[in-house]
Amino acid sequence: MDTCVSGQQAQRRAYVTLVLISLFCLAPFFWVLLAAFDPKASQFLRLPDSLTLAHFHNLLTNESGVRWIMNSVVIIGSATVLTLIFAGLGGYALSRTQAWWKRPLLYAIILVRIVPPPALIVPVYKVMLTLNGWMHGFITGLTDDAALQTTLLRMFSFVDGYLGLILIYTALQLPLAIWIMKTFFDAIPKDYEEAAALDGASQWQTLRYVLIPLALPGFAAAGLFAFINAWGDFLMPLMFTSSPELQTLPLGMFRAFLRVDAIDYGFLTALAVIYTLPAVIAFAFARRFLTQTFSGGVKG
């Protein structure tokens, strides 16, 4: 009896400890959420006397918030789509091939993912700078319209342009995504492809109507990891963009915190709330597939 009571007390102490740790971890999130709606937001956690949407209105109308959001959505969204396309094709190819170089290539792919991104800044920047010079020459030779040149350079430049950041994020997220997709295609029996072939389906039809629906949990997992990792990145936009028109949300938060005058904590926390929402929404959509992923969808 004493042993049972002692065990229950230990369990209660463990629960109390977990609750205290959880409250400590959640306190910054509560502060951000409350300060975003507090007319007198400050650096200290406090209950607001009233609620206001003025910080969000200021962010979306008077500041560059809309531009930061659109830049992040365009760049990270495009990189995530490209990552899923290449990861799906590469994962399927690596899953079905039996060549001797398959295992060394898989290890080489994951080793690329292990290398920290700051170590790649200098060589990647040199490569992108060389490609950027070629792209500038091509665009300036394509048209004499200065406005059109500016627009095309902003879109397709490898340095200080959308295309460069999209390709960098795709390359950084691709190794893990390929491994995830390869593992999922390994779990799909080849009998499905053989049955589709017997029914007269082409390779493309088999991939589109049979394999992709079965591998949706893998696409959801790979897309979520790629999106969240790229969405929260600060280093690459800092290094590869210089124009204010190309700043992303992480850079916007950094600039807002380093303003010469007093820090507007209401504006900063409103920006942080908007910055957090896409990741939360993406997780909510992918949750069902992630449940399948971590409950046995990935094997071997």
Answer whether CATH 1.10.3720.10 is correct for domain 55-297. Answer: yes
pTM score, two decimals? Answer: 0.85
Other CB atoms within a 10 A radius of the CB of residue 222 amount to 28
165: Cα separation from own chain's centroid: 13
Tokens of 191: 């009998």
How many whole angstroms separate alpha carbon 139 and alpha carbon 215? Answer: 40
Tokens of 250: 């992480």
Q: Map out the domains of the chain as residue ranges.
A: 1-52, 55-297
Give the pLDDT confidence score for residue 297 in this predicted structure. 42
Tokens of 112: 């690329």
Buried b (16+ CB within 10 A) or exposed e, 90-112: bbbebbeeeeeeeeeeeeebeee
Give the pLDDT confidence score for residue 84 in this predicted structure. 94
How many whole angstroms separate alpha carbon 78 and alpha carbon 92? Answer: 21
How many whole angstroms separate alpha carbon 291 and alpha carbon 25? Answer: 24
Give the pLDDT confidence score for residue 86 in this predicted structure. 94
How many whole angstroms separate alpha carbon 167 and alpha carbon 209? Answer: 28
What are the tens digits of pLDDT across the range 250-274? 888 887 777 656 677 888 888 888 8
Question: Which amino acid, residue 55?
Answer: H
User: What's the full length of the chain, in residues?
Assistant: 300
Q: What are phi and psi of 41, to 5 degrees?
A: -65, 140
Q: Are 176 and 113 in contact (CB under 8 A)?
A: yes
The helix-helix angle for 162-186 and 121-142 (nearest 10°) equals 120
Give the pLDDT confidence score for residue 5 in this predicted structure. 56
How many whole angstroms separate alpha carbon 2 and alpha carbon 246? Answer: 67
Q: Are 297 and 184 in contact (CB under 8 A)?
A: yes
Residues of the chain with pLDDT under 70: 1-7, 63, 259-262, 288-300
